Amino acid sequence: MRIPVRLKNELTTMNTRHFIPFMLLLCSLFTSCEDMLEERPYSELDPSDVLTTVNGIEKVLVSAYGNMVWNNVKFRLTRFEGWPADLSWQTGGVENRTALTIMNWTWDASQDQFIGAYSRHYDAIRDANIILGNLDLVTGIADNKKASLTAEARFIRAWAYYRLYIYFGATPLRTSIDDPAEMPKASQEEMLQFIETELLAVIPDLPEPGAEAQYGRVTSGGARALLAKFYLNSKQWEKAAAACQDVIDMDKYQLFPSFEDLLKAENDGNSEMILVTPLSPDGPALNYMEGAFPPGFASWPEKNVVNTSWENHGTQHRLRESFYHSFDPKDKRREPILTSYVNDRGVTVDLLNGAEDNIRSFRFWPDVNAQGNRHGNDLPEIRYADILLARAEALNELNGPSEEAINLINQVRARADVHDLSVTDFATKEALRDHLVQERAWEFYEEGHRRTDLIRMGKFVEFARKRGVENAEEYRTLYPIPQSALDANPLLEQNPGY
């Protein structure tokens, strides 16, 4: 077909008209690609926005505190301190797969709770080191603010190393953001020295109890108490006794009148609490009760506990009956132990005379504001009773039974409405030590101290063997360095025996 000339021209111009914007678009594509490859992380903050302001630094400090709370809060009470020891045990649920290895002393380095605890503490240490390494960049910060933030960060770091030491022994000592990625374990001495000097250094810069900016942040009392427990657990008796006395002399703390009410969520922050891990249903929360509730728990009529909304899991956190029977029947500290309950079919179930060792600890009294399995009871790290018994123990280890030591113990017993002890009841240092083993069991059961106490008092392996744990070996007084930590750091060595 022939196209008339005029029309053809028109067609050509039309096509050029199309062609030009088309080519313009095409050309625009060739403009600098580098510019187009800039992308902003909208949902994340630039380090300069965080590390140069007091507010930003405080948020990193929140993370440091937060990392001191375990990912699974109850693990410290159960897997680390409870089930390897003599007072409590576990059945049921998936938890039993791990619990069996703990109760049988066959745990190994591959288990999750070890890497969980290990890495969480080093996360806190990382956050603390970031604060300490960047505080100089913060603009317009008052000197005393800088000093208290520094002291808090150093305290958290020392606390994290204390816990690592308690569970894993000496570990790599990272004290600066500039430390190399892979470091070997510190020596025993370096570790002990670091914790001691850091705690001593921060006490003057920390606020007095009650003067802290928010409840839940550490005070000078908390640091003193931790120092006292550190001395005690590293068996520096003299320093331990003195440090306990320092806490007592602060005159800021006293025993809470009711043992049963001591750990209830509504009594959080009472004056017995020296160092705590604050918990809340909507933040990091306590999940101990999910396993303490027996199957189908509906109510505990004697105590007016009625289950309206608490989650009740397959895992069963059980206490041994021998422990229950060891109490003086008048001992108020036996009160929070559940021995019978009404289940959701209205049947009263007797736990004491049914299945073996099936009674439950209600130390962490169920929180009426709990959401599901998340209860708001704070977790006491060190309370005044612990300081009193620690000083008594240290004095006994130094000089044997003494009036002062017995008086300290009696202070604690008085609250429980049990008779006073007399120094004549204890012929030897060992006799009083053995009593303290028992006294601490009554006072602190399921509170996350048992394994550490037994190790310090030389009973951990002995008691396990007595229970018939054939695998109870001395080397298991330290937990293994987690396998994945070993895999990732060639300079790290496994603890002996594992």
CB of 262 to other proteins, least distance (A): 17
Alpha carbon distances (Å) from 179 to 57, 129, 175, 329, 481: 20, 10, 7, 56, 20
Cβ proximity to other proteins: between 96 and 407 the closer is 96
Binding mask 296-335 for other proteins (x = CB under 8 A): x------------xxxxxx---------------------
Cβ proximity to other proteins: between 355 and 414 the closer is 355
97 binds other proteins (CB under 8 A): yes
Q: Which of residues 337-356 bind other proteins (CB under 8 A)?
A: 343-345, 354-355
Sign of CA dihedral 102, 265, 328, 383: positive
Binding mask 411-450 for other proteins (x = CB under 8 A): ----------------------------------------
CA dist 396 and 402 (Å) reads 7
DSSP E strands in 112-210: the ranges are none
Q: Which of 5, 6, 13, 34 binds other proteins (CB under 8 A)?
A: 34
CB of 85 to other proteins, least distance (A): 19
What the block records as the tokens of 172 is 């790599």
Cβ proximity to other proteins: between 39 and 251 the closer is 39
Q: Is 488 exposed, middle or buried (0-12, 13-18, 19+ CB in 10 A)?
A: exposed
Q: Which of residues 190-209 bind other proteins (CB under 8 A)?
A: none
CB of 394 to other proteins, least distance (A): 31
CB of 95 to other proteins, least distance (A): 9
Cβ proximity to other proteins: between 88 and 315 the closer is 315
Total of residues contacting other proteins (CB under 8 A): 106
Q: Which of 88, 111, 233, 270 binds other proteins (CB under 8 A)?
A: 111
CB of 187 to other proteins, least distance (A): 16
106 binds other proteins (CB under 8 A): yes
CB of 292 to other proteins, least distance (A): 14
482 binds other proteins (CB under 8 A): yes
Q: Which of residues 112-131 bind other proteins (CB under 8 A)?
A: 112, 115, 118-119, 122-123, 125-127, 130
CA dist 441 and 85 (Å) reads 11
CA dist 39 and 182 (Å) reads 32
92 binds other proteins (CB under 8 A): yes
Contact (CB, 8 A) for 250 and 225: no
CA dist 443 and 363 (Å) reads 10
Segment lying near other proteins (by CB under 8 A), choices 73-81, 140-148, 277-285, 325-333: 277-285
CB of 477 to other proteins, least distance (A): 18
Segment lying near other proteins (by CB under 8 A), choices 37-45, 73-81, 195-203, 331-339: 37-45
18 binds other proteins (CB under 8 A): yes
Contact (CB, 8 A) for 483 and 498: no
Q: Which of residues 217-256 bind other proteins (CB under 8 A)?
A: 217
What lies within 8 Å, CB to CB, of 196 at 6+ separation is 227, 230, 231
Q: Which of residues 138-177 bind other proteins (CB under 8 A)?
A: 171-172, 174
Cβ proximity to other proteins: between 230 and 310 the closer is 310
Burial 300-318 (b: 16+ CB within 10 A, else e): beeeebebeebebbebbbb
257 binds other proteins (CB under 8 A): no
267 binds other proteins (CB under 8 A): no
Q: Is 294 exposed, middle or buried (0-12, 13-18, 19+ CB in 10 A)?
A: buried
CB of 28 to other proteins, least distance (A): 9
CA dist 421 and 426 (Å) reads 9
Task: State CA 135 to chain mean position distance.
Answer: 26
What the block records as the tokens of 462 is 């002995």
Torsion of CA 429, 430, 433, 437, to 10 degrees: -170
What lies within 8 Å, CB to CB, of 88 at 6+ separation is 78, 82, 317, 318, 319, 320, 361, 445, 446, 450
Contact (CB, 8 A) for 342 and 348: yes
489 binds other proteins (CB under 8 A): yes
